[in-house]
């Protein structure tokens, strides 16, 4: 496709943010260098990053090559602390773009540049995000979106099974000095620090048996042979609901890890974000069943509840400890998520966290993990005592009311 328009960045408003302007200019340079001829981009549309990146949709205004009409540019600032989101994003897209197109559940990588710290991606269009379905008014559309997400996650795991060596090799070529799984790093920190935090903030001690259960969960998480690619974030903002099913976005923490750790995101759900509401009875179970149907051909042992459910509980506990470690120090009963498209009545973080401990109590009791359930009950009582009875009542997503 050769577009004859000569419009380019000169058409961008002078008051356009400098980081957006710089990202588009950098993308022009990267594309022109890759293809060996000038590529002009126009009509930049800020898609909003997560504070760690600039994300912009652009129109390909002029090129002598066959390129899509629109592309998405994602650019990162310098690495943060002990991790580099750009390295995980770039390597994840390299790994996934190598899959056959019919198996790919993510945008195709068009170009990247390590010095400019950007990736240029296929534009999947303006399909609604899963969050929009859940915050809408159509219960059936929301249910279809959730089940599509679960099926897509299972297919992603099945098609990337055992790709540890490939991912690690790509990371080494990337030159990243921080290629450890960022979630695994955080889980180990939470494992060490949460018992003291619970005692300090809520006056709840963590019994030795519960600490050992958590230690065992982490050991299984690290040594598991059921490994495949994980997008790392479960936030419904990062899942596009397209006519071909859910497509995954945002791989700032993308890694190859234990697949059951991802499956726990279907049970909680969305444990990596604080904007979560509740789901109707049976919805989480249906999502987990959809995921199991996709992975059973690769890991048939996960069809056995005696194998799968204890591991799922361990993964759920790790997510719970991690979210509590991250959220408890600054928890407020009145703190609400009101940025972006979030409704003003979104649940307080105290309510979200309390509901997760209540879910852990019930799931642990169902599997006979009585000491874990008793500890969850103590934490639950302390949270309700501090933040009020309303802390235990998590409202459903608007689509299901």
pLDDT tens per residue across span 106-153 = 999 999 999 999 999 999 988 999 999 999 999 999 999 999 999 999
Burial status of residue 246 (CB atoms within 10 A of its CB: 0-12, 13-18, 19 or more): buried
Cα distance between residue 187 and residue 22, in whole Å: 35
Our count of domains for the chain comes to 2
190 plus 93 within the same structural domain: no
> What Cα–Cα distance (Å) separates residue 169 from each residue in 172, 175, 258, 339, 357?
5, 10, 19, 38, 39
**Does the pLDDT at position 14 exceed 70?**
no
Q: Given this model, what pLDDT does residue 78 score?
A: 74
Q: Which among 88, 122, 156 is the end of a domain?
A: 122
Mean pLDDT for 217-238 is 90
Q: What is the CATH number of the domain that holds 42?
A: 3.30.200.20
Q: Specify whether 344 is located in the same domain as 365.
A: yes
Angle, helix 305-327 to helix 370-387, in steps of 10 degrees: 30
Give the pLDDT mean for 282-291.
97
| Same domain flag for 89 and 154 | no
Q: Looking at 14-23, 89-98, 106-115, 303-312, which range is the least confident one?
A: 14-23
Q: Where is the domain boundary, 99, 122, 145?
A: 122
In a domain, 1, yes or no: no
Q: What is the DSSP letter of 80?
A: B
- 60 with 168, same domain: the answer is no
pLDDT value of position 339: 42
Is residue 4 situated within a structural domain?
A: no
Domain for residue 246, yes or no? yes
**Residues 383 and 264 reside in one and the same domain:** yes
Write down the pLDDT at residue 26: 94
Judgement on whether residues 166 and 223 belong to the same structural domain of the protein: yes
Q: What's residue 7's pLDDT?
A: 40
Which of the residue ranges 9-13, 110-114, 304-308, 315-319 would you say has the lowest mean pLDDT?
A: 9-13
pLDDT on residue 191: 94
Strands 54-62 and 255-258: unpaired
pLDDT on residue 68? 87
Q: Is residue 185 in a domain?
A: yes
Domain encompassing residue 170: 130-400
Mean pLDDT of the region 194-218: 96
Residue 2 located in a structural domain: no
**DSSP conformation class of 347:** P
Residues 331 and 352 in one domain: yes
Can you give the pLDDT at residue 340?
43
The answer to whether the CB of 392 falls within 8 A of the CB of 359 is no
Beta strand residue intervals within 255-370, DSSP E: 255-258
In a shared domain, residues 322 and 350: yes
In a domain, 158, yes or no: yes
Per the model's pLDDT, the better-predicted residue between 221 and 263 turns out to be: 263
Does 75 share its domain with 155? no
pLDDT at 370: 97
Per-residue confidence (pLDDT) for residue 71, from 0 to 100: 96
Claim to verify: residue 144 and residue 232 sit in the same structural domain: yes
Q: Please tell me whether residues 88 and 171 are part of one structural domain.
A: no
Question: Is there a domain that residue 311 lies in?
Answer: yes
Q: If pLDDT is split at 50, 70 and 90, which confidence band does 19 have? A: confident
Does 3 fall in a domain? no
pLDDT of 338 reads 42
Does residue 341 have a pLDDT over 90?
A: no
Q: Does 273 score more than 90 pLDDT?
A: no
**pLDDT confidence tier of residue 248, bands split at 50, 70 and 90:** very high
Residue 337's pLDDT is: 43
Report, as an integer, the average pLDDT of 256-277.
Answer: 92
| Interval 92-102 mean pLDDT | 94
Give the confidence band of 390 by pLDDT, cuts at 50, 70, 90: low
Q: Please check whether residues 249 and 339 belong to one and the same domain.
A: yes
Average pLDDT of the residues in 313-340:
78
Domain stop point among 122, 155, 181: 122
């Amino acid at each position: 496709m050769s577009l004859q328009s000569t419009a380019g960045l000169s058409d961008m408003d002078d008051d356009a943010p400098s980081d957006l302007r710089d990202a588009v200019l950098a993308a022009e340079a990267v594309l022109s260098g890759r293809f060996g001829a000038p590529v002009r981009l126009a009509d930049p549309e800020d898609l909003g990053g997560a504070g760690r990146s600039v994300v912009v949709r652009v129109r390909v205004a002029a090129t002598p090559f066959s390129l899509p009409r629109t592309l998405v540019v994602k650019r990162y600032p310098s690495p943060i602390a002990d991790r580099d989101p750009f390295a995980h994003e770039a390597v994840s897209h390299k790994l996934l773009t190598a899959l056959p197109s019919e198996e790919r559940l993510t945008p195709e990588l068009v170009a990247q540049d390590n010095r400019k710290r950007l990736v240029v991606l296929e534009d999947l269009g303006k399909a609604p995000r899963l969050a929009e379905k859940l915050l809408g008014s159509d219960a059936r559309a929301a249910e279809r979106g959730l089940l599509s997400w679960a099926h897509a996650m299972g297919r992603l795991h099945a098609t990337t099974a055992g790709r540890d060596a490939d991912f690690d090799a790509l990371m080494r070529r990337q030159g990243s000095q921080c290629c450890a799984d960022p979630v695994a790093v955080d889980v180990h920190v939470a494992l060490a620090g949460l018992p003291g935090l619970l005692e300090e903030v809520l006056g709840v001690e963590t019994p030795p048996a519960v600490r050992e259960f958590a230690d065992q969960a982490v050991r299984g998480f690290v040594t598991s042979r059921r490994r495949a690619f994980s997008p790392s974030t479960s936030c419904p903002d990062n899942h596009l609901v397209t006519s071909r099913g859910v497509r995954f976005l945002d791989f700032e923490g993308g890694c190859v890890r234990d697949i059951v750790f991802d499956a726990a995101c279907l049970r909680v759900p969305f444990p990596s974000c604080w904007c979560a509401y509740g789901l109707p009875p049976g919805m989480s179970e249906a999502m987990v069943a959809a995921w199991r149907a996709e992975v059973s051909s690769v890991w048939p042992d996960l069809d056995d509840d005696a194998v799968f459910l204890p591991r799922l509980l361990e993964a759920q506990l790790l997510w719970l400890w991690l979210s509590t470690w991250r959220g408890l120090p600054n928890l407020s009963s009145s703190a609400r998520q009101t940025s972006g498209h979030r409704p003003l009545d979104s649940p307080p973080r105290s309510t979200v966290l309390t509901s997760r401990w209540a879910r852990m109590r019930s799931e642990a009791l169902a599997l006979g993990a009585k000491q874990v359930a008793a500890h969850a009950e103590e934490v639950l009582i302390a949270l309700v005592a501090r933040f009020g009875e309303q802390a235990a009542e998590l409202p459903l997503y608007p689509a299901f009311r």
